[in-house]
Structure 1
Amino acid sequence: MSGQEEAERFLRGLADSVRETHVSLVALAGGDAFKMKKAVDLGFLDFTRLGERERLLRREMALNAPHAPGMYRGVEPLTRGADGALRLGGESEAVEWVLRMARLPPDAFLDCAPMPDAAALADAVWALHEAAPPQPGDGALDGVIAQNRQTALDAGLPPDRVEAWHAAAQALHRRLAPTLARRAAEGRVRRCHGDLHLGNLCMIEGRPCPFDALEFDEALATVDVGYDLAFLLMDLEMRHGRDAANAVLNRYVARGDDAGLVAALPLWLSLRAMIRAHVERRRGGAWEALLGFAEAALRPVPGRLVAVGGLPGTGKSTLARRLAPLLGPAPGALVLRSDEIRKRMHGVLPEQGLPAPAYTAEASDAVFAEMRRMARAALEGGHAVVADAVFGRAEERDAIAACGVSFMGFWLDAPLDVLRARVAARRGDASDATVAVLEDAAKRDPGPMRWTVLPAEADPLRAALKALDLPSTGPA
């Protein structure tokens, strides 16, 4: 019996439950989970040497422990006691190495749980990427595209569809080459998670935490942050729908300034879906919808710019969030909210309040300039944008309209007493507007109104959809 076979028998005897994949075995015992890497060589990974298994377990812990607090407890040897039997720990020569982790309930893992708070989920991913320093690279994915064509064919996906996907992915990649290279020069290529789907996120103390980052191949995990994020967005859309994916995308962008990532999302999303499709095909799972997603993501969808303005309390942000999943390529439009941009420019969370000096005319001009910059970056990449701000001056409305070729502006209007009640009741929102701010804004003349005015006392969604020539999503 080999040392690993003996170690596996020991772990199975220790456990009350065992989970395994083709590369690892996890023994669940009481409050612990012990992970052992299998001594396999699959070409793209080689775990056949004991020293390499130890190194990669230690690398796995170093990568994941900072982002999943309390989950990773240490790397421990399995050694022989005086009686020759295996034991955890000890000073004698290691027969095998295991990673000790905290055991979590099955519903702690996000592939088995309801949709978590989108803001918290996006914040966790943003923090992971923000902590990773930029790495050398060009962001190119031609090798990944070619490899996935062959792997998909080998897995038995329909050859005609795989070849058509490959040609479309190659063509889009060629068009995106300057964008990917520019993003790499901006520091967007980082040592990322590498396998950021919902099964590799879990709830710890009430918040989402990424874990099980790809540890065995630094090149595979050193990618554009947008490509890393795309795996999660694809998985969210497939499991929870476009609204969920759109909400996470927009919170992620609100935390940083990376509106330009949407230019490459069609390629990144398609690749992530194709990878999952051929994996599922090999394991006998459901692959058809994933392949369909991979194909659909590469089909051009016209981008457009929609702006939503009005006094505080008119429901601008609610309408913007509801319209965004219905506009442009997957996973829907980028929402650029002036309140969130202002908070980011001052280095605080969207929900954190700002003092009065952050709302001077000069400060507001800077916020609108940043909004226009981000809008142009997304629109030039072929994406869709919803701009969300008061837009109380005609020059502000004209300036945002000039950012896009296909433009629609909505001005929301409601009685002042309705707006007072809404603003007074607002909690935990990015807007710092008070009733006093509302009263002051209501006294100002907005100038000539060339945008479509929508009554906002009731739900304006149906009227907005009609104006945009979009199908109704149900009762308004």
Structure 2
Amino acid sequence: MVEALAEALGAEVVQTHTSWVLIAKDVVYKIKKPVNFGFLDYSTLEKRKENCEREVFLNRRFCKGIYLGVVPISYVNGSYLIENDSKVVEYAVKMRRIPQEKLLVNMLSSVSEEQIRSIARHIAKFHREAEIRNEFGKLEVMKFNTDENFEQTKKYIGITIDRKDYQFIVDKTEAFYKRYAELFNKRIKEGRIRDGHGDLRLEHVAFLEEGICIFDCIEFNERFRCGDVINDMCFLSMELDFYGKSELSRAYEDEYKSFSMDEDFDIFLPFFKCYRAYVRGKVNSFLLDDPNYQQKEQAKAMAQKLFKLSAHYAHLIPA
């Protein structure tokens, strides 16, 4: 199906572990794979349609002009037809194509500090207006996430993460929970737990003529999308650090802190950056077990670098 549609559209196909992305001249179609990873379930046509609709709804909060809607795919007389609802066999998210040169990840050599500060204001404003989701701010919810990370990465000790770094990050995380348990409740009372983005990475931010566009938020699992606003925003500054742009990272964080007037910002920032770098290290480590993934050495090197960055942040977590 995907190959036939791509040929008919003259589109390039980019494949992830969850989707096929058909990139045509002016539009993009994103088709979800029929997979079930536990934390993500696209196993039935109904679930794929629901997640397509949720993806469009959630992402329009950040970027109104990019997500055009959900379109059907039909199989008619031996051919697959997109945006045809006569004999529906699949659904796709239809998006306006974003030029690659407009993505922040491709602008790191030229982006200005003021542009980075404008992103911080954009995200802080969104967080201020986003839906409050207090249930995701509880300490035990965050601890479930970090415990899951540590359990899932034990097998990579000595491969992508040093045993000493692993234990240090675990110990600092546990100590943080013990010392600052009451601050988690304080942040709930202050309304700092919001329905956010969940995957706020450099490749998901674009500077378009109509303004800043942030896209591709997590629609498939609320636990990964909802939570403390610092946990949401700092994914971007962690990635700026990773690419050696710490001066931009500091500008971004300073502007967000100033705009959000968050008095506990400096306490939570290194903790959540440690968590975000660890998650990325884990995801890259998973690629080593994927028989279809060809660039394993690159994934291993990235995971090692990300885990080192996580350990660096762990050293900054207040004792």
- Give the TM-score category using the shorter length: 0.7 to 0.9
Q: Helix, strand or coil: the match of 1:287? A: helix
Identity of aligned residues (%): 26
Q: Pick from 111, 132, 135: which aligns with 1:134?
A: 132
Question: Corresponding residue for 2:29?
Answer: 34
Matched, 1:96 2:90: yes
Q: Pick from 278, 291, 297: which aligns with 2:313?
A: 297
* C-alpha contact 2:271 2:313 (8 A) present in aligned 1: yes
Which letter does structure 1 place at the counterpart of 2:307?
Answer: L
More helix by share: 2
Structure 2 CA distance for partners of 1:184 and 1:15, relative to 1, 3 Å: farther
* C-alpha contact 2:5 2:80 (8 A) present in aligned 1: no
Q: Which whole-Å CA distance do the structure 2 matches of 1:251 and 1:61 have between them?
A: 29
Q: Which whole-Å CA distance do the structure 1 matches of 2:17 and 2:281 have between them?
A: 18
Which letter does structure 1 place at the counterpart of 2:277?
Answer: A
Gaps (5+ residues) in structure 2? 288-295
Question: Corresponding residue for 2:259?
Answer: 255
Q: After superposition, give the CA deviation of every residue in 1:58-112 in whole Å (9 maximum; x if it has no partner).
A: 111011123213211110000133x342212233232000011011222222222
Question: Corresponding residue for 2:116?
Answer: 118
Structure 2 CA distance for partners of 1:240 and 1:296, relative to 1, 3 Å: closer
Q: How does 1:391-406 map to 2 (within 5 A)?
A: none
Q: Pick from 32, 54, 57: which aligns with 2:52?
A: 57
TM superposition score normalised by structure 2: 0.87
Q: Which whole-Å CA distance do the structure 1 matches of 2:177 and 2:86 have between them?
A: 53
Q: Helix, strand or coil: the match of 1:111? A: helix
Q: Helix, strand or coil: the match of 2:277? A: helix
Structure 2 CA distance for partners of 1:197 and 1:29, relative to 1, 3 Å: same
* C-alpha contact 2:23 2:29 (8 A) present in aligned 1: yes
Matched, 1:9 2:3: yes
Q: Which whole-Å CA distance do the structure 2 matches of 1:15 and 1:42 have between them?
A: 31
Q: After superposition, give the CA deviation of every residue in 1:439-464 in whole Å (9 maximum; x if it has no partner).
A: xxxxxxxxxxxxxxxxxxxxxxxxxx
The CA deviation at 1:206 is 6.3
Q: Helix, strand or coil: the match of 2:213? A: strand
Gaps (5+ residues) in structure 1? 1-5, 301-328, 330-380, 383-476
TM superposition score normalised by structure 1: 0.59
Q: Pick from 223, 226, 251: which aligns with 1:222?
A: 226
* C-alpha contact 1:173 1:267 (8 A) present in aligned 2: no
Q: After superposition, give the CA deviation of every residue in 1:197-234 in whole Å (9 maximum; x if it has no partner).
A: 11221222163321111100112211000110121111
Q: Pick from 80, 86, 89: which aligns with 1:86?
A: 80
Q: CA RMSD in A?
A: 1.9
Question: Corresponding residue for 2:144?
Answer: 143
Q: Which whole-Å CA distance do the structure 2 matches of 1:262 and 1:201 have between them?
A: 24
* C-alpha contact 2:5 2:81 (8 A) present in aligned 1: no
* C-alpha contact 2:282 2:303 (8 A) present in aligned 1: yes
Q: Which whole-Å CA distance do the structure 1 matches of 2:106 and 2:217 have between them?
A: 19
Question: Corresponding residue for 1:19?
Answer: 14
Q: Which moved more, 1:156-165 or 1:271-280?
A: 156-165
